[in-house]
Structure 1
């Protein structure tokens, strides 16, 4: 059994002994611990979902100054990735932000991290599935003839990755590796090959709005802010990674850097391939870029295939993450015990409950209409996703400031402190960028979690009395 992080809420937990190698590890013929390549693919695959296929058109109205915003965000994301790597060295256990927040600030903070992260995963899974249907309609136009057919398509997109997860971590890793390779092939064609057909005349103005430079960067950053969600993927699944103290940090940094390179090069190439006036109104900017590079109109089909593969791969990884955080909390008595059961290295209840909740939200979306509550809930995830980031970076600051430096050498202390402060500021910027409405709704979701925490904490107290 692994070392437990339990301490009373009134006193922060001390740094526990590292968990045994098999504490959270997979076992059995269908379970396999992830090596560095697959852990890196998990990070990259979860960061890059379907958003990249629309990003160039989304920020084109601001002009090429949006590339500056991309650069700033990339630096913040890499700082956050490095902090997650340091935290994983200290606590190489499944749960990621939940484990770090609980170790630093006690049960309640850990529960808030787990609760908010769990909300983010299953609502985002529903959003990804609905978005994937839009690309599936390009490949199969008949899918859009009826609402029920689109709903069934979205449910299929959700449950296929869920079934891959239930088959075991061995298959999760295989799907993640294949989908990452397949979706990156067309993206790299545009990101790298597009530079050879780059035409500076297509870039348009540096600032396309009447805002000042700071305002323009902030406005475009508000759209780009959540392009990097998924940085924590390897940390959340640390128990399924071989040698997590070493590989989680490396996978996080490599995956984030790789995703950033694809984002930046892809957006720059599209800016230089598609005329600015056309890009502003484009519904498929990468399709338009492929058409310019090779001629013809087959780019839409290629990009649609890549988008579907990208989203299925992202759903595969996010489904695993959606089960890992409740699993870690359940082991500590802060989530229902059913979430603790693992088969073939995968928390079964977490996968099934998450898929069921996402499916219910998807059905509601198609029955209530696209202008219903669904969009509000999706917007809320932009806030709930950043709560674990803030708590994790605050935990790192706490560990460093309180003298609990763990594996931090004296010569690395200042660098780690600077990184932690930068990552905290980046996380705070993410919260601000989500908007007042999202923060308001997100806080209500967190307060609903407080009720659940009260019930689970009382049950845990009775069990230990």
Structure 2
């Protein structure tokens, strides 16, 4: 941790450490390599294979947008790494929000992030099935539904086998997905043609196009915080979570940017805008129209999607586990199997993802599924902004630029990085669009009755334990305002 963020973390950190030690703890089965692969695997999913075509309509400014989003995501990852050094506990963003701003902020963070995890899986598995269809034609709705729901539960089973196995899957699939992406990103740069890039801006002004392209790219960097959410399962978490978070995000950003430049330079702009498989078109251009380029990239997409699915499934159980340990989620989420895996969270998240996937395929709630998939970015922004704001708050309140000159420089740097991270997450919320923000706020506020119920149950349990009447009961003293 930088000098400006070093030193005693105060009563909040001590309380968090004590609570983590007293409550149930997952097993530490992730080393630095596996934690880095978890971050890289969760950030780079199926969407990367469509991103160049998605932003081509804005012009070459889309590459600039990728650089901007990539740099800001790395700064956000650095903030998460610093926070994990302060509070290396399962739940990541939830832990930071709760200890900086109180139980309600922590609960809303946990709720929002949990939605992000299982809703992302639902959206991911549908896109993943599209690539499976390229390799093995899925005729009709039934086979497609069987493959998608089956994939969700295979990911659950892989995680039930233990975090070590899930970490191994993350490492293997990350290596396999990176081979074709790096080949295109590195080798392709030697064959780009300037005339293929097209205009810098196709319509409107550069600033507007930059913001619009950035909004399209927002979803591509979700997952930078993955190692912090599973921090107690990472060996030597105070060191390795920071390393894994920053290294994984930097690697993903570099591959994203270089790969996008290569695809833009290999595929003519007009064709790229209409492409349904931009990386396959780029590989075809590299090897002279190879007829099996589509199948090759489909294999890469299937492997990539499978690894991301397993990684996000792992994360989906850790957030409710952390909140339940603090009595903000039902205690049932604390149950672990013989391998130390919080299985209730895994099964519940798998069930929710399956239900919304079925709704998508049956068509009964098509619009609801689409809306929830679009809301994923917004629900992720809630824990992001609370986390970055928590780091900024702790820097400003606990550590001032006192003493040596270099300490003041580091303090200013840390504050600047944290402030940029806060602004970046707010920009992400704005980029999600008015409809997504409106619906997302309603979805988040729908958690309030659950919060009231959990606090009421906690108050009753405390009253019963002390032998006193519950707050608000006849004859009982008024409860203090918190």
Shorter-chain TM-score tier? over 0.9
Counterpart among 140, 146, 155 of residue 161 in structure 1: 155
Q: TM-score of the superposition, structure 2-length normalised?
A: 0.89
Q: 2:395 maps to what in 1?
A: 400
Shift of 1:24: 6.6
CA deviation vs aligned residue, 1:318-337 (integer Å, no higher than 9, x gap) = 01111001000000001111
Distance 1:464 1:176 in 2: 42
| Matches of 1:446 and 1:267, distance apart in 2 | 34
Partner of residue 434, structure 1? 432
State the shift of 1:180 in Å: 0.5
The superposition leaves residues 161-206 of structure 1 with CA deviations (integer Å, 9 ceiling, x where unpaired) of: 1111000011111111111011111111111111122111211111
Alpha-carbon separation, structure 2, partners of 1:429 and 1:164: 36
After superposition, what is the alpha-carbon deviation per residue over 1:257-309, rounded to whole angstroms, capped at 9, x for unaligned?
Answer: 00001100110000011011110100000011111111321111011111111
Aligned residue number for residue 235 of structure 1: 228
2:36, 2:248 within 8 Å by CA — same for their partners in 1?
A: yes
**Partners of 2:166 and 2:459 in 1: CA distance:** 36
**Superposition pairs for residues 24-103 of structure 1, below 5 Å?**
26-27=26-27, 32-103=28-99
TM-score using structure 1 length: 0.92
The count of residues paired between Structure 1 and Structure 2 equals 445
Check the 8 A contact 1:123/1:377 in 2, yes or no. Answer: yes
For the pair 1:289 / 2:282, whether they are aligned, the reply is: yes
Comparing 389-398 with 108-117, greater Cα deviation is found at 389-398
Residue 325 of structure 1 corresponds to: 319
CA deviations 1:202-233 (Å, max 9, x no partner) are: 11111122x11111111111111221100110
What is the CA–CA distance in structure 1 between the aligned matches of 2:340 and 2:314, rounded to whole Å?
10
Secondary structure of 1:342's counterpart equals coil
The runs of 5 or more residues in structure 1 that have no matched partner are: 1-11
CA distance in 1, matches of 2:15, 2:235: 18
Residue 464 of structure 1 is matched in structure 2 by 462
Larger gyration radius, structure 1 or structure 2:
2
Q: Secondary structure at the match of 2:151?
A: helix
- Say yes or no: does 1:356 pair with 2:351: yes
1:371-410 matched pairs, under 5 angstroms: 371-403=366-398
Aligned alpha-carbon RMSD (Å): 1.8
Contact 1:49 1:310 in 2 (8 A): yes
1:178 matches 2:172? yes
Is 1:255 the equivalent of 2:244? no
Q: Distance in 2 between matches of 1:409 and 1:101?
A: 26
Q: For the Cα contact (< 8 Å) 2:359–2:366, is it kept in 1?
A: no
Structure 1 residue 116 displacement after superposition: 0.3
Whole-Å separation in 2 of the counterparts to 1:86 and 1:135: 38
Contact 1:13–1:105 under 8 Å retained in 2: no
Note the C-alpha offset of 1:15.
Answer: 3.0
1:204 matched residue in structure 2: 198
Deviation at 1:438, TM superposition (A): 0.4
Q: Tell me, which stretches of 5 or more residues in structure 2 are unaligned?
A: 1-9, 401-405, 464-482
Quote how far apart the aligned CAs of 1:33 are: 2.1
Q: How many Å separate the matches in 2 of 1:246 and 1:17? A: 21
Q: 1:138 aligned to 2:134?
A: yes
What does residue 214 of structure 2 align with? Answer: 221
